[in-house]
């Protein structure tokens, strides 16, 4: 079985966000990690590989040279090889362009199952994996909690509002991983050593027979801003019964929210 | 071209989601600003009766697409039907609720149409050059991006609770257009085997007006009953911090924060939640925040509108009693 996992490097979730003097997101000194939801996708791929002898897990990513460290970590977890599309001419990559590039890169390799994180915690769009499925003409199941493969079909249970839904799709197909799908493993020393020898193929847009000019973004960011900081409000003192009574009164009469 | 604004009406078994009514209400304001028509688009089975309801919220036109294959939501069938309708009528914008269905449908539709998509937006403004400009939280609300789309339709999924629902006016009528669903066989590869809706008397977390949330200070799964009792008196949903979910006290679907749900209720009551940055990212846009925590240094107090330094096991039941008294 050929399993492809899409991977994105993102800011650590504990990172504080600041803007540069030119108004863009400042990544200076920010710790970079594998997008946490992509870790669930990697873990699921590794479990499938372990259950199906002769399987291979290939990581595919679009990003700058810095992405290599996230890829090495995923290789240390147990993925077999990686493809990174990195091109200096690539500037504003929106979800449409990212999906088109991933589709071109994945079209060059064999695949039965494509796993992605359900959302990247940086831009929070939750679009690219679903767009990728569409670009490759594949069915997809978003936000899965459970995945079972039988022959050429997959049964996945996904989160819906107020419950869950179980869906069967023929392979190949795309699945996006939700928290709860599994518990991602930590790379061990042996894995870290082995990862250094694994193949990380870096491709340019020319290798994918395309160019920055041929990839048309559907959207663009015109500005970034930071939220207006909230300030501390009233601390209600007194005995517990007084505090509760005062809070109920304030919520009704001052805030008017109950 | 006066092709106007489309609102995708999400319905389950004939019941319209609240976020769709929010979008109709705001869509009316935006359509008036643009001087263009507002169209509601409903997909499903036996949904024609919903046309009057969406008209009462201000839609000028209602496109009804009925088909057996649209009875339950599936990615393929809904994308196919909506895509063909969008190709035929060429709307200038399509607004969709950022729900489980919206998050799945919108990227498919945008990719098929070859256009951009602004996800989880919390602001929509008319833009002279690009029809709309969308404000959307990034880094789970630690920053915002203003996004424009370079082609039409400008598609966005809008966060529930972003816009208020206007009062319906039953005297308003809309032109109803019935379309047949044209669904590509290639879009029917997924089979829905089972839908398990967990019966709950509480509102859905992402649409709730009030959320009562518990964190590490809850000390164990058995203690959530005291939050549930408060929630039921004030009609709230129950939420949790990552600490409580990771401890196995409450299911992941209740998690609020950067790796859980992002919520924007009118009132958020945080009990025993310290206020880690990743939790604040998921609830920081709440209108009013209440913190109950025994640690006066807890970070949550730095942004709470009302704070009580105290034992939640004492305060929460007392608060429940107070609201019962107030009725």
Q: Is B200 on the interface with A (CB under 8 A)?
A: yes
Q: Is B24 found in the same domain as B134?
A: yes
Please list every residue in chain A whose beta carbon sits closer than 8 Å to the beta carbon of residue B75. 130, 139-142
Lowest mean per-residue pLDDT among B88-92, B196-200, B252-256: B196-200
Q: What is the CATH number of the domain that holds B216?
A: 3.40.50.1220
Q: CA Rg, chain B, in Å?
A: 21
pLDDT in tens, B262-287: 899 999 999 999 999 989 989 998 99
Q: Is B324 on the interface with A (CB under 8 A)?
A: no
- Under the banding of pLDDT at 50, 70 and 90, the label for residue B327 is low
CB neighbour list of residue A249: distance below 8 Å, 6 or more residues apart: none
Please list every residue in chain B whose beta carbon sits closer than 8 Å to the beta carbon of residue A103. none
**Minimum distance, in Å, between the CA of residue A150 and any CA atom of chain B:** 15
Instruction: Please check whether residue B134 lies inside any domain of the structure.
Output: yes
Average pLDDT over residues A146-158: 97
CB neighbour list of residue A114: distance below 8 Å, 6 or more residues apart: A3, A4, A5, A6, A106, A129, A132, A133, A136, A138, A172, A173, A174, A175
Chain B's closest residue to A176, CA to CA, is B104
Specify the DSSP element, H or E, that contains B314. helix B312-326
Residue in A10, A127, A132, A158 to test binding to B, most B beta-carbons within 10 Å: A127
Answer with the one of B155, B187, B219 that is the final residue of a domain. Answer: B187
Instruction: Please check whether residue B192 lies inside any domain of the structure.
Output: no
pLDDT at B2: 54
Are the C-beta atoms of B142 and A17 separated by less than 8 Å? Answer: yes
Query: What does DSSP assign to residue B199?
Result: P
Please list every residue in chain A whose beta carbon sits closer than 8 Å to the beta carbon of residue B303. 229-232
- Cis peptide leading into residue A138 (ω within 30°): no
Q: Is B81 on the interface with A (CB under 8 A)?
A: no
Q: Is B282 found in the same domain as B178?
A: no
Please list every residue in chain B whose beta carbon sits closer than 8 Å to the beta carbon of residue A140. 75, 108
pLDDT in tens, B72-88: 999 999 999 999 999 99
Q: Is B69 found in the same domain as B144?
A: yes
Instruction: Please check whether residue B194 lies inside any domain of the structure.
Output: no
Overall domain count for chain B:
2
Q: According to CATH, where is 3.40.50.620 located in chain A?
A: 2-214
Residue B179: Cβ within 10 Å count:
17
Please list every residue in chain B whose beta carbon sits closer than 8 Å to the beta carbon of residue A230. 284, 289, 302-303, 305
pLDDT in tens, B165-203: 999 999 999 999 999 998 999 999 999 999 998 888 899
Q: Is the pLDDT of residue B209 over 90?
A: yes
Please list every residue in chain A whose beta carbon sits closer than 8 Å to the beta carbon of residue B119. 124-127
Q: Is the pLDDT of residue A57 over 60?
A: yes
Instruction: Please check whether residue B263 lies inside any domain of the structure.
Output: yes
pLDDT at B293: 98
Q: Is B161 found in the same domain as B66?
A: yes
Residues A96, B305: C-beta atoms closer than 8 Å: no
Are the C-beta atoms of B133 and B145 separated by less than 8 Å? Answer: no
Please list every residue in chain B whose beta carbon sits closer than 8 Å to the beta carbon of residue A143. 100, 103-104
Lowest mean per-residue pLDDT among A43-52, A116-125, B91-100, B257-266: B257-266
Residues A218, B189: C-beta atoms closer than 8 Å: no
Q: What is the CATH number of the domain that holds B125?
A: 3.40.50.620
What string of DSSP letters covers B33-84?
Answer: HHT--EEEEEEESS-TTHHHHHHHTT-SEEEEEE-GGGSS--HHHHHHHHHH
- Under the banding of pLDDT at 50, 70 and 90, the label for residue A42 is very high
- Under the banding of pLDDT at 50, 70 and 90, the label for residue B1 is very low
Whole-prediction pTM: 0.94
Specify the DSSP element, H or E, that contains B8. strand B5-9
* Average pLDDT score over chain A: 96
**Minimum distance, in Å, between the CA of residue B318 and any CA atom of chain A:** 6
Q: Is B265 found in the same domain as B148?
A: no
**Minimum distance, in Å, between the CA of residue A158 and any CA atom of chain B:** 10
Are the C-beta atoms of B148 and B129 separated by less than 8 Å? Answer: yes
Q: Is B215 found in the same domain as B162?
A: no
Cα–Cα distances in Å, from B213 out to A17, B4, B123, B239? 25, 40, 26, 4
Q: Is B162 found in the same domain as B287?
A: no
Q: Give the domain range for residue B151.
A: 5-187
Are the C-beta atoms of B283 and B263 separated by less than 8 Å? Answer: yes
Average pLDDT over residues A112-130: 97
- CATH number of the domain at A2-214, please? 3.40.50.620
Residue A95: Cβ within 10 Å count:
27
pLDDT at A66: 84
Instruction: Please check whether residue B196 lies inside any domain of the structure.
Output: no
Residues B145, A37: C-beta atoms closer than 8 Å: no
Are the C-beta atoms of B156 and B122 separated by less than 8 Å? Answer: no
Q: Is A50 on the interface with B (CB under 8 A)?
A: no
Which A-chain residues 99-158 have CB contacts (< 8 A) with chain B? Answer: 99, 121-128, 130-131, 133-135, 137, 139-143, 155, 158
Residues A13, B278: C-beta atoms closer than 8 Å: yes
Query: What does DSSP assign to residue B256?
Result: B
Answer with the one of B127, B156, B187 that is the final residue of a domain. Answer: B187
Chain A's closest residue to B311, CA to CA, is A240
Instruction: Please check whether residue B291 lies inside any domain of the structure.
Output: yes
Lowest mean per-residue pLDDT among A48-52, A142-146, B11-15: B11-15
Categorise residue B46: left if φ over 0, alpha if ψ from -120 to 50, beta otherwise: left
Average pLDDT over residues B27-40: 97
Q: Exposure string (b/e) for A32-59, b if CB count within 10 Å is 16 or more?
A: ebbbbbbbbbbbbbbbbbeeeeebbbbb
Please list every residue in chain B whose beta carbon sits closer than 8 Å to the beta carbon of residue A11. 139
Closest CA to A227 of B122, B125, B267: B122
Q: Is A226 on the interface with B (CB under 8 A)?
A: yes
pLDDT in tens, B300-312: 999 999 999 999 9
Please tell me the distance from the alpha carbon of residue A149 to that of residue A1, in angstroms, as a whole number.
11
Answer with the one of B138, B155, B187 that is the final residue of a domain. Answer: B187
Q: Is B174 found in the same domain as B255?
A: no
Categorise residue B179: left if φ over 0, alpha if ψ from -120 to 50, beta otherwise: beta
Q: Is B137 found in the same domain as B17?
A: yes
Q: Is B176 found in the same domain as B56?
A: yes
Beta carbon pairs, A and B, within 8 Å: 264
Q: Is B247 found in the same domain as B318?
A: yes
Instruction: Please check whether residue B255 lies inside any domain of the structure.
Output: yes
Residue in A12, A244, A256 to test binding to B, most B beta-carbons within 10 Å: A244
Are the C-beta atoms of A158 and A179 separated by less than 8 Å? Answer: no
Please tell me the distance from the alpha carbon of residue B304 to that of residue B289, in angstroms, as a whole number.
5
pLDDT at A64: 85
HSE of A215 in the Cβ direction (CA atoms, 13 Å)?
A: 24
Which B-chain residues 226-245 have CB contacts (< 8 A) with chain A? Answer: 234
Closest CA to A245 of B175, B208, B306: B306
Q: Is B42 found in the same domain as B167?
A: yes
CB neighbour list of residue B171: distance below 8 Å, 6 or more residues apart: none
pLDDT at B322: 95
Please tell me the distance from the alpha carbon of residue A178 to that of residue A195, in angstroms, as a whole number.
26
């Amino acid at each position: 079985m050929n399993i492809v996992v899409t991977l994105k490097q993102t800011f650590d979730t504990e990172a504080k966000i600041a803007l540069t003097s030119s108004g863009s997101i400042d990544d200076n000194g920010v710790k970079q990690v594998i997008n946490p939801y992509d870790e669930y996708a990697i873990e699921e791929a590794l479990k499938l590989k372990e259950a199906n002898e002769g399987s291979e897990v290939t990581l595919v990513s679009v990003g700058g040279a810095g992405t290599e460290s996230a890829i090495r970590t995923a290789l240390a977890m147990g993925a077999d090889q990686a493809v990174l599309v990195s091109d200096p001419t690539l500037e504003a990559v929106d979800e449409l362009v990212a999906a088109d590039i991933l589709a071109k890169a994945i079209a060059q390799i064999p695949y039965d199952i494509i796993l992605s994180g359900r959302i990247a915690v940086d831009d929070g769009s939750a679009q690219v994996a679903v767009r990728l499925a569409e670009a490759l003409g594949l069915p997809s199941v978003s936000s899965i909690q459970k995945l079972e493969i039988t022959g050429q079909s997959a049964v996945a249970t996904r989160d819906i509002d107020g419950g869950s839904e179980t869906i069967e799709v023929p392979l190949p197909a795309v699945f996006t991983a939700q928290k709860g799908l599994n518990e991602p493993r930590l790379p061990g020393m042996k894995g870290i050593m082995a990862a250094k020898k694994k193949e990380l193929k870096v491709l340019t847009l020319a290798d994918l027979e395309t160019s920055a000019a041929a990839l048309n973004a559907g959207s663009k960011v015109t500005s970034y801003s930071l939220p207006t900081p909230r300030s501390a409000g009233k601390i209600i003192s007194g005995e517990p019964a007084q505090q509760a009574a005062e809070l109920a009164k304030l919520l009704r009469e001052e805030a008017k929210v109950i | 071209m006066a092709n106007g604004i489309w609102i995708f009406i999400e319905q389950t078994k004939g019941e319209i989601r609240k976020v769709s009514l929010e979008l109709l209400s705001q869509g009316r304001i935006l359509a008036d600003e643009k001087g263009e028509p507002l169209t509601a688009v409903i997909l499903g089975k036996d949904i024609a009766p919903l046309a009057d309801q969406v008209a009462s919220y201000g839609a000028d036109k209602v496109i009804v697409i009925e088909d057996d294959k649209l009875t339950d939501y599936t990615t393929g069938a809904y994308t196919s039907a909506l895509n063909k309708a969008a190709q035929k009528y060429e709307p200038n914008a399509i607004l969709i609720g950022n729900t489980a269905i919206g998050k799945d449908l919108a990227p498919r539709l945008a990719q098929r149409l070859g256009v951009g998509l602004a996800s989880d937006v919390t602001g929509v403004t008319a833009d002279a050059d690009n029809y709309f400009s969308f404000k959307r939280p990034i880094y789970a609300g630690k920053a915002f991006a203003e996004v424009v789309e370079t082609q039409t339709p400008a598609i966005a999924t809008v966060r529930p609770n972003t816009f208020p629902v206007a009062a319906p006016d039953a005297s308003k009528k809309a032109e109803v257009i019935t379309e047949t669903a044209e669904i590509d066989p290639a879009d029917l590869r997924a089979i829905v085997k089972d839908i398990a809706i967990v019966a709950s008397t509480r509102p859905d977390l992402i649409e709730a007006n009030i959320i009562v949330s518990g964190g590490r200070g809850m000390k164990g799964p058995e203690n959530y009953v005291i939050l549930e009792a408060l929630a039921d008196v004030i009609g709230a949903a129950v939420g949790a911090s990552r600490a409580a979910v990771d401890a196995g006290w409450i299911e992941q679907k209740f998690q609020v924060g950067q790796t859980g749900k992002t919520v924007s209720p009118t009132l958020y009551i945080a009990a025993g939640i310290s206020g880690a940055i990743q939790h604040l990212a998921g609830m920081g846009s709440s209108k009013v925040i209440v913190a109950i925590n025994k640690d006066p240094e807890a970070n949550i107090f730095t942004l709470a509108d009302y704070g009580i330094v105290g034992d939640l096991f004492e305060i929460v039941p007392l608060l429940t009693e107070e609201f019962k008294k107030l009725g």
